Structure formats: structure tokens, C-alpha cells
Structure 1
Amino acid sequence: MSTTQPTRLDPTMTAPWTEPEPLADVPGGEPNLLHRSAWSDPANPLKVMLKPWYDDDLPGGPYTERVDVFLDDDERNIIGFRVWDLPMDPDDYYVPISADNLPSGTHTLSFTMTNFVGTPALSFPFTVTIDKTPPVLAASSQLIFPAEVLPPNKLTARYLELNNDEVKANLPMYTSPRPWDQITWYWGPSPGTQDRGDIIELDDQNYSDPVVVTIKGDLIQNRGDGWRYVWYEARDRAGNVSLRSEPVELDIDATPIPRTLPPSKVREASGGASSGVLSPFDAVNGVTVVIPPDAVIYDGEGVFVQWADPDAVGAFRTDIPTPAGSRDYKIPNNKIAQHLGKTIPVKYEVFEPGIAEPHNSNNYNLRVEELTGLPIIQCDKVSGGRLSLGSMADGEYASFTLERWTFMAIDQYLTVEVRGVNSGNQEVRVPVLTESPVPEVAQHIPAGRISKTDLQRFKIGGGLEVRVKVSFDARNTWKDFPSLTPTLVA
């Protein structure tokens, strides 16, 4: 240590600099900040560099010169010195400074050079910042994840799907965050994993705001399912690193599940996986559409079952499972007869919250068989297979009735017509009912009447045919009921 007293000299020598050089100044950062690698290696101390002060070689002789480096305009606060024999090697114009002589903070480095005749000269100062203090994490340092992804729950593909394909975690505020601090987080199969996820760098405007770690679904899925551990550390601009945070343990089940929606089935129908045949007599109490258990439907999604094309007569749509919580959906019996003899699609739709267009299942094609055992129309004037005109007074009518049939409903329509030939064997048709609504659902219903006068148009002794057609689908199609075929007699 030099015993030279303060000289209070005016600075005349060029300011020193350091090797390694300070980091470039950035907005909000400390001036001339030295990275810790510049001074922390005992085998490679920081060099305070000096500009040579002689232009020419000095004459030979046993001469020495000395440089004292001091801090903060205090010539007594010498942190390093060096004595040279002249002439000096050009590569020797520096003074090594050990780390323990570099206090934290922003300081000025100056030096006094005492030449070979004992005359001192003072340099201009050079400002540097030394930062030896690593960031200090919060006492409870674990990342804060949403409760729904923490054990005993899993972080699932469905969670990612509903959350913009990412999961966010809040980082507990650590001690004295500074602009350009970096948060490095790790994601891997062990608590001390070195599998880096990403680096978050704080800026000079919002460095004190809460830090949110956003973990993308791609990274989660690429690193596999099972138990995974997440931890982080904070590093300041000088390269000081905090202790590791406590790891968070997560159970990952994020492999994407394909959205498979296989065809539904109709429980009362026979057939294969994507088609079936329904006997109407198995549907007198309605039918049940069953969504298969392997259909991918998530909690909170809406499910609608569509019976037949939406614009078809007899279509039905429901989102009410019976019983509640099941995958069974009831189709009422008044939506069966409209499809007799037809093949209809049966499907279901799955609606994700916030998404307008549904996911559509594959179609199940259902063939509904024709209805058999339909009643024969009856006439009050027919006896023993004969309709006798002599039994009818002038102006009297023969009345027709129909017995109740399976699926009878008042939204169905009747057409009744009497056919035969006249005495000249020309065809005669007498309409009795034309597309007339079924009046009621009863054991017997009126089905129109025909006058004696109209009956007299037919050939005596000729056969009559009383034809009946019923429409189950709002008069789009007609089904033939068995005909009544009496013989007209005088």
C-alpha cells in the first residue's frame, strides 16, 4: 500500500478503462455495469487498463515507476497498485484488481502515476458499477398454477384446448427486481431438471409488475405425459443468479385426444354399427337414441340429438338425456309414424362453449318398417259382404267407420273413396273424404258417408271397393289401408 499523501493534483492523465469492458448501457440500467465474469475469477482478475504515457523510449538505467488505482476521488482508498522497471513492456500497462477490492455499487476508478523522478500525476476518472448481490426469491417461491391443473387434478389436453393452448403461472414477487433481469424457467421429468423452457426478460418500464410465466401447449405435449417438475431462477444483468425456486409437481395428461364421434344407435332397432331397422311395433312407446361411450364429449359441452332431417315432418331435436347424466335420449312415440317406410338419419351434435359451429357425429341410418295390421274400413249398411240398396230409404246414407290403428293421431289425414263401374261398365269414383284430418283418437272414428243416390250410380250386382289412404306425414306421402269390397245388390 502506498504511503503517498493525497496530492490534490489536477487530473492530466487519460482516464483508465477496464478489461473486460463494461456492458453497454441500457435504458434503466446501471452505468458501465461490469458483468460478474469480469472480476469473479481469482485466476483472471479485472484489469484496469492504462494508456502509455511515454512517446519515446527512456534512456537505460535502474528506473522504476508506480501506479496506484483508487476509488471515488479518494487517493487514500487504493484498491491496487503496480511497480515497473523501465523500460516498460507495452503489454504491461494495466493494474490487476482482485474481487475483494471491488465493493458493490457505482464507483469511479482513478489512478496516480509516480514517475521515475518521483513526480506524481493524476488521471481523469472512469465510472464502473459492480453488482455482487443475486436476486432473492420469495420465501414461498413456487410458481402459482391454476388449482384445476394441480394434483390431484391433471393438466389435460382438454384444459389446453379451452385455454388458448397454454397454461399460465404467476411468479411470486422477488426482492428488488431490476430492469433487464431474466427469469429462466425449466420443465422436465425430475425436480432438478435442466430442460430449459424459456427466458423472460424484464424491461425498463414494467420490471416491477407481477411476472406471468406462459407455458405453451406444444412444449407441454412435446415433453410428454406423466409427472413433470417446473422451477425457475432469476438472473440480473450482471450475471448474478438467485437460488433455485422450489419445484412444482404436475401430473400431465396432455396428449391430444382425437375428437371421435361415432354413430349413435337406436336401442329398439336391429342392425349394425351405422345402420339399423326399426319395427314400428317396437316403437309404440317411443325409442331411445344412445350415444356410444367412446364418443369424445367433455364436461360443460352441449349435446343435441337430431332425429331425422331438421326440415322433415316428424323431425325431433332434444338436448335432455333420460335419465339425467346419461347418454340416452328419448324420442317420443308421436315422432315415429311420419317415417314409416322411410330411411332417416339419426345423429348428435356437440357444442363447445364459445364456439358457434358444432362437432357433428357420423350418421346412423335408420330404416323404419311399414306398419302392418291396419284396420279394414267398415260400413253400417254392409252385411254378409253385400250392400243392399233396398235396405236404404231414399235420401239415406251409408256411413263408414275405422277402428283405431297403431300411432293414430289427429295430425294425420284420411282419404276415402268408393270405386266401381256403372251399368255400362265404365269406372265410377265417388269421393267420401279427401285429405280430411283425423277427427279424434278413439276406438272407432267416423270415416265419412255415401248417399243412396251416389250408390245408385254403380252397377247392381257389381263389386264395390272402398279405398282408404292415410297420410302420417302432413300429406307428403299416403299409406293404403285394406279395402272393403262388398257387392252392391238391389
Structure 2
Amino acid sequence: MGRKRKSGVSLNRLWRRLWHWVLHDDMALLPAPRADTLPDIEGGEHNLLSKQQVRADLRLEFDLWQYSEPTVQYPDVLQLFLDDRPAAVATRSWDSPIQADELFIMLDRIYLTEGLHSVYYRVTLGLSGVSGDSQVFSFVVDTTSPDLGDNRGRLVFPPDAATDITARYLELNGDQVVAQVPEYYPVRVGDMLTPYWEQAAVGSLAQPDKVLGVGDLGKPIELTFTGAQIRALGDGRRYATYRVTDRAGNESNLSAAVELNVSAAPLPRYWPAPQVRDSSNGGVSNVLDPTKALTGVTVWVPANAAFNPDEIASIYWGTPGTTGAAQTQARISDTGPWRGFITKEQVAACIGKTLVITYGLLNHPELPASDPLRLIVSVIDQQYLPQVQSQAAINNSGRISLSTLTTGDTITLRPWPLISTTQKIRLWAEGTGQNGLASEYVMLDATPVTSGQINSGVSVALPKAWLQTLRSNSALALYVRVSFDAGENWVAFPASGGITVVA
């Protein structure tokens, strides 16, 4: 009885294998195995293994195939094939339903040699004996460290920074030093270059890494040491090195060191107050007589002011943005004092005012300005200012005779010290009308000075028609006001009185 039951079971299994074979004798191409490789990057190797992965057996995972019904008598078998090897390099079998955490096979590390590899697996179903192959999975093994080549990859610094890196060099070169990396082998996308800036060439004080992209290939590779990084370690003897780590994690040796002398601490800026030529010491402030600046004035930057050669000092005449303020420059040579020039127009616009004069480094507003010089530009003494004149009165002993005038009188004013087209003039006459009341005639009313008047002076007409409205034998006076600062303030010039209007 028992023998019949056993025979029946065997026969049932035989029929199941037969039907399994009939139905599934042509297994579709199975999905490729997979491994935990490094993420792909543009231009880099596809499915690259890390250095750590190569040190152990490689775990290859796969999906469960269809029609899997393994038993002890008829197990499912998986064979792993590598590259062009005809024999399987690894085999695994299952004699019971396969669990999710069993869907892997290990590839021995002895097969993880340098280069490109391809693997696929073959599954043989236990019940039917039908076999099917998977798609191919390719991966790359890289165990070669980058070779820095001749001279151990010693960095190449610019000639003017190859031995000394100064604060001046950093100022002139964007606050950085750029060194070129000699050609090494192999250069690949994803290579990471780690520079070191240290007091000893040991490769421990790393600066920010540089990772090569596709655009870095085929051209010189550069490493940048910023002024902030250089100054952080202070002045003295310093050593620049680097090492290359490829994407798989293989490291080169530390490069040969470049020894440099660093004096990158910013120049201590000592900027004493400027001086103005021909000004006099008035105690708290200096005083400038504008008649001593008829062609302009020179501002001196003291010889002991701390500048680098070829820097440019920016001199501020007055507070920027205020009326009369100006800015000029002085190029720094080897010896001072250094001179900046202020034009006569700029001097004239400050007549009667107190200025603050300073200087600094051109295009470096972050640096504080120099000690200030307070300068008073005094008013022009009346003795230096011309008096307005009536040509008719000059020719007739101080009288304007209406009977001798054709169209009117000519009123003149000679050029005055520091005259310029930036100034304005008011000129008017005052007399007594026929009704006994004051009468005024304005010839110029805040009128800009013209270029012709700078050399020839002012000449305007006083019409006969207005003069005839005045009472006979009455007095006439001529007045002038000039603004040296475009109308903000007015200076009275000597008036002409004592003129008599007669018939």
C-alpha cells in the first residue's frame, strides 16, 4: 500500500516536470544582474567600482525568474559567467522557495582585476530542466593610482610669485595665486585634486578640492590658493603640495613641495594729513589765499605716507557731493611727496568756505581715509577785485551826459582773479526816477560767465531810454555781485558811485 503511494507521488512529479518542460521550454532573456557601483557622471566610466568594493567579494543581485518551483530533488540552479570564460565562476542552487534576501551571488575578489568586465548568469529550472541566460552587466575595475610623473608633480607658480608671495602681488592678481599642475597619468573626469598649504610639506592641512569635469580635459589644470587661505596661515616659509584621488578612490603620492616665502600681511597704512601748497598755518586750520591759486593749487601727499609703488592716491578736495568738492589723483612713485592738482575753478568754488581735505587708495573705499586737513579758502580781498565802470562817466569827469549818448552807456568790468565759466554774475544800476522814487535797471541777472569774458572782461549796455527816465542831475550807482559756486553764495565787488546823470 505504501509502495503504491510512493509510486504515485513519483509519477505525479514526473508528469509535472513533463508539463513544465512543454510549457516553458523557451525561457525569455532574463534581466541583467546588478551591483552597487558608483553613480555615473558625464564623461566618466560606466558602472565603476569603488576601491573599497574591489577589496572584497562583489555581491551581484538579480530578480526572481518565472516558474521557479525548486525542490530538494529538483533544485533551481544559477551559474555566473564572467567575460569570455566558458566555465561558470560561481554557482548557487535553491531546493526550496527562494526568498527575497537570497537573490544574490558573490563574485570572488580574485576576478576583480583591472579593466572592463562583463557578467551574466544562467538559470536552470529544477522541475523542467529548462535553462535561460540573462542580459549582460558590465562594470569597470580601477586599481591604478594616478602617476604624478616627472619631478613628482611639483606645482608651477607664476614667475613673480614663485619665491615670494607679497600683499602687493595679491592686490594686483585678484587676491589669489594660481599654480599649474604638471601633466599626470591618467587624467580622468571625476579626479579630485586636493591642494595643501602648510608650514611643513606633510599633506595634512587641506584646502578646498578641485574635481575635474568634462570641460577640464584637454587643457592645463590649475589650483587656486586664495588670499584668505594664504593669510590665514600667516607670513613665513610655506609649502604648497597636492595629491590626486581618482573617482574609484585610488590616491597618488603627495606631490613634491614648492617652498615659498609669504609676506602677505596687508601693508600697514600710515596716512598723515595732506598739505596744500601756498597755504598758511592758521592754528586749527590752514588758510589759503585764493589769489595765490590763480592757476590752481597743488595738494601734497606726504612722503612718509605708506603706499606701494604704482598705486594711485585719490585726493578728495572737500566732501564728495557738496558744492565745490573735487577729486584728483596722484600716482605713487618711489619717492614722495606725491602731488595732485586742483584747478582754479575748483579753488574758486570754495571761496569763503572751510574744506576737509583727505586722500586714500584709489578704488579701495573699504580702507579708511587719511588724517584730514582743514583748509579755509579765504575771500578775495576787495583790493584784488575790479570796480565796475561807466565808460561815459570815465570820459566826462564822472558825469553821464544824455546829450552825447547815441543808444546808451557801456558798462564794463575787468576780469577778476580766478574768473571761470562755472561762475555767475549780477550787474545792475540804481538811480532816482523823475517821480523821486528809486529806479533800478538790471543788465545781468545770475548770468553765467562766458569764455570770451575770461580774457576780455564784461561789457554790457545801459540803455539811454532808461537813463532818460532818471531825474536830471541825480546820482547813479553801479553794482556787481559774483557767485564763485554756481549761485549758492554771492561776493560783492567794488561798486561805482558818485556818477551824475545830466541832460
Band the TM-score falls in, shorter-chain normalisation: 0.5 to 0.7
* Residues 325 and 417 of structure 1: CA distance in aligned 2, closer, same or farther (over 3 Å): same
Aligned-partner SS, 2:262: strand
Residue 189, structure 1, aligned to residue 202, structure 2: no
Could you list the runs of 5+ residues in structure 1 that have no partner in the other structure? 1-23, 36-72, 74-101, 107-128
2:490 aligned with 1:481, yes or no?
no
> Is there any run of 5+ residues in structure 2 with no aligned partner, and where?
1-35, 39-47, 57-84, 86-109, 115-140
Give 1:283 shift: 0.8
1:416 to 401, 423, 427: 427
Give distance in 2, aligned partners of 1:201 and 1:454. Answer: 89
Residues 1:28 and 2:28 aligned together: no
300-309 or 371-380: bigger deviation:
300-309
Matched, 1:138 2:154: no
Match for 1:342 among 344, 353, 367? 353
Matched, 1:376 2:387: yes
Q: 1:194 to 1:412 in 2, by over 3 A?
A: closer
Q: CA deviation at 1:387?
A: 3.6
Query: Could you tell me how far apart the structure 1 residues matched to 2:379 and 2:311 are?
Result: 37
Q: Which moved more, 1:325-334 or 1:221-230?
A: 325-334
Verify: 1:250 aligned to 2:271, yes or no: no
Residue of structure 2 equivalent to 1:403: 414
SS of residue in 1 equivalent to 2:260: strand
Q: Is the 8 A contact 2:310 2:333 kept in 1?
A: no
Alignment partners' CA distance in 2, 1:251 and 1:282: 51
Q: Partner residue of 2:120?
A: none
Inter-CA distance 452–178: structure 2 relative to 1 (3 Å threshold)? closer
Of the structure 1 ranges 330-339 and 272-281, higher mean CA displacement relative to structure 2 is found in: 272-281
* Shift of residue 410, structure 1, vs aligned partner: 5.6
Structure 2 counterpart SS, 1:154: strand
Is it true that 1:367 corresponds to 2:376 in the alignment?
Answer: yes
Identity of aligned residues (%): 25
Supply the distance in 1 between the matched residues of 2:226 and 2:468 (Cα, whole angstroms). Answer: 86
Match of 2:232 among 222, 228, 247: 222
Q: How does 1:55-70 map to 2 (within 5 A)?
A: none
Aligned length in residues: 369
1:150 aligns with 2:162: yes
1:440 aligns with 2:453: yes
Contact 1:416 1:447 in 2 (8 A): no
Report the TM-score when normalising by structure 2: 0.53
Do 2:50 and 2:249's aligned partners in 1 also have CA atoms closer than 8 Å?
A: no
What root-mean-square deviation, in Å, do the aligned CA atoms of Structure 1 and Structure 2 show?
Answer: 5.6
Moved more, 317-326 or 369-378: 317-326
Instruction: Report the residue type matching 1:171 in the other structure.
Output: V
Q: Secondary structure at the match of 2:237?
A: strand
Correspondence for 2:297: 287
Residues 428, 458 of structure 1: 8 Å contact kept: no
One-letter amino acid matched to 2:498 = P
CA contact (8 A) 2:197 2:207 kept: no
Deviation readout 1:250-288 (Å, 9 max, x if unpaired): 121222457888775543434599964321112111122
Instruction: Point out the structure with the larger helix share.
Output: 2
Looking at structure 2, the residues matched to 312 and 347 of structure 1 have their Cα atoms a distance apart, in angstroms, of 15
Q: In structure 2, do the counterparts of structure 1 residues 448 and 358 end up closer, same or farther at CA, with 3 Å as the change threshold?
A: farther
Partner of 1:79: none
Structure 2 matches for 1:284-323, cutoff 5 A? Answer: 284-291=294-301, 307=317
Instruction: Give the AA of the match of 1:371.
Output: I
Q: What whole-Å deviation, never above 9, does each CA across 1:147-167 have from its counterpart, x for those lacking one?
A: 34212x42537627854x654
Contact 1:345 / 1:364 at 8 angstroms: preserved in 2? yes
Instruction: Give the drift of 1:248.
Output: 0.5
Which amino acid is 1:405 matched to? W
Q: 1:385 and 1:160, CA in 2 relative to 1: closer, same or farther beyond 3 A?
A: closer
Partners of 1:313 and 1:135 lie apart in 2 by: 67
* Residue 468 of structure 1: aligned partner: 480
Q: Secondary structure at the match of 2:234?
A: coil
